[in-house]
Structures are given as structure tokens and as C-alpha cells.
Structure 1
Amino acid sequence: MKIKFHFIALLVFGSVLSSCEKDDLEYQNEFENSRKAMLDFKESSNNSYKYVVPGGSVLVSFGWESTITVTHGKVTQRHFRYTSTEGLSDNVPQEELEWVENENEINSHEHTSAAYAWTLDEIYDKAQQEWLVNRKNVKIYFEAENNGLISSCGYVEDGCMDDCFNGINIKSIEAL
């Protein structure tokens, strides 16, 4: 009898915990649907793909983009380039306007506007553990307009005026 009671208590406690976890994530259903689409995409692409992360500033007119290449589940290249240099300082060296990192160099260019090179698995983990977590004083965003895969995911703190998005925007994702 004692074993039955402990088993039932464990089931009740487990269901309470799992319901709390779901309540802690904004856009739970949309996120789960997108994660399923991501898993299907990884399978159909042999976990080899590239995605483009655009960037820019509300305050200035120049923009940039980072293209991340993943081969068999491992980041193999990060390519950064300015897409518009209007308003950018004239003394920026040419090698900082566009560059490529391969294999062992990935994420070696520090203090740049380039997107960090993550796999889709890492992006979805970060979304679940950080960007979509309900918290006070923020507005949370989630869109899955890349054939069901994340296109925008993150949050903005209330009262922030410019360039305050914490998360990722993905312009495109395509299989290799």
C-alpha cells in the first residue's frame, strides 16, 4: 500500500512540475511545432544547412549579415559582410568589411557585429532556456516563417528605445 501511495504522489508531483515548466515558456505550442519542423528539416538535409542572420541599427543606415554553414551537425563556416556601408566610418579596414572563418577559426573574430555561429539545435536550446522564458518587464517575440523554422525569437526589455532585441533573427535557412 505504501508503494502505491508513493507512486501516485510521484505521478502527481511530476505532472505539477511539468505543467509549471510549460507555463514558463511563452509561445509554447508554436515553439514545439517549430522544433518538430527543425528536427524534420535536419533529417531531410542530413543535418547540413546554412542560415543567414541579418543585422543593422535603427540609429544608422549601415547593415550587415552573417551566413553560418553547418555540415553534418557541426558549424564549419561563418561568413560576415556589410550589406550597406552608408554612414559607416571611412577608416574601417577592408578586412573588417567582409571576412570568412573556417573550421577551427569559428567565432574567432570577437567584438564584431557578426552573429555568433550556432547550430539549429543550439538556437532552439537557447530559445527554450533563455529567449522565450516568461519574465517580468519584457515583450517576447517568436516567429517561424522559414518553412516552420525560427525566423525571429527573443525579447525586448520594457522601456528600451534602440537596438534592444535579445535573441536571433534569421532571414533564411536552406539545406546544402
Structure 2
Amino acid sequence: MNKKICLLILLIGFFFTSCKKSDIEYQNSFEKSQQAWLNFKKANNNSYQYTVTGGTWIGRSWETRLSITNGKITQRHFKYTNLDEEFESNIPEDQLEWTENEDELNSHEQTPAAASLTLDEVYETAKNVWLKKQENATTYFKADNDGLISSCGFVENNCMDDCFVGITIAKIEPLNQ
């Protein structure tokens, strides 16, 4: 009888210690999306472009298109897609839309343009930052681009305006070479 109780306690202890809790939200969805990304990346020789969208609660919006060739960022194109007249008149025309090529990436610093990241880096940031479980935030993840990441990030509780920390990707497509 004593041996049975010891064995039962050992099995229960093993069961509880072997069940590893995930430290990221949406783990299953994220892993499926990451596998879809790896398949897409391989099928397209790690050459693709994707469009990140952003905006404010007052209606201003913009998009950034990043082009990646053989795993290396080769171009970042930014443009405002919706502006009110007053704001638009205060921005120099060359800041409303611009393109950076490989040798000048990140030369536009004071801009809402998306960071120059490959999708490998986006998935890494999603896993290590945006999807980390947090007590004080609501986390979001969607994979609406044929299974590839489309929205990932979090909003801290009680935040009022423009609080999303993460990325919204409108489109991912193979790069026409």
C-alpha cells in the first residue's frame, strides 16, 4: 500500500512538473503562422515584400512597404494615405512620400514609417516581445495573410489613444524579380 501511494505521488508530481506553461499568448496560432512563413520563405527564395499600415485615432494614416531580396532589406517605401489639410500643409512635401534604397535605409528618422525588419525579425519580435504574457495588457494576434502574420501586438490596460504596440501587416507577397 505504501509503495502504491509513493508511486501515485511521484506520478502526480511528474505530471504537474512536465506540463510546461507557455509564456506567450496565442502560441498555437503563432506556431502555425510561423510554419506558414517558413514555407512561404522557402518557396520564394526569401524574396518578398510586405506592407505595414499605421494610423492615429484622429484619422491620419500611412503605409510602409518593405522589399526583401534573398533575406536582405533592399528598399523601404513610405507614404501618408490619409491626412487632414492642416497637418498636410505643415509637412514638407518630400516627407509625405519617399523611398529609401539599400544604401540609404533608415535615413528618414523622424517619421511614423515602420522599422526596417525582415519577416524573420518580425516573427522573432512577435515571439519575444509582442506576444509575451502580461498582466497589464491585452494581447492580439491574427494571421489573415494566407496564414502569415497580419496583426500582432498588445495594448496596455487603461490606455486611451494610439496605444497599440506591435505591427499590422496589410499584405505579404512574393517579390517580382
TM-score using structure 2 length: 0.86
**What is the percentage of aligned positions where both structures have the same residue?**
52
1:24 corresponds in structure 2 to 23
Across the aligned residues of Structure 1 and Structure 2, the Cα RMSD in angstroms comes to 1.9
Structure 2 runs not aligned, ≥5 long = 1-13
- 1:1-176 to structure 2, matched below 5 A, reads 19-20=20-21, 23-59=22-58, 61-87=59-85, 88-176=87-175
SS in 2 for 1:19: coil
SS in 1 for 2:89: coil
> Which structure: larger Rg?
2
Which one-letter code corresponds to 1:62 in the other structure?
R
Please identify, of 99-108 and 143-152, the stretch whose mean Cα deviation from structure 2 is larger: 99-108
Distance (Å, rounded) in 2 between the aligned partners of 1:93 and 1:78? 19
Which one-letter code corresponds to 1:19 in the other structure?
K
Q: State the Cα deviation string for residues 76-116 of structure 1 (Å, max 9, x = none).
A: 10000111222424131110001111112112211201000
SS in 2 for 1:25: coil
2:10 corresponds in structure 1 to none
Distance (Å, rounded) in 2 between the aligned partners of 1:44 and 1:174? 11
SS in 2 for 1:46: coil
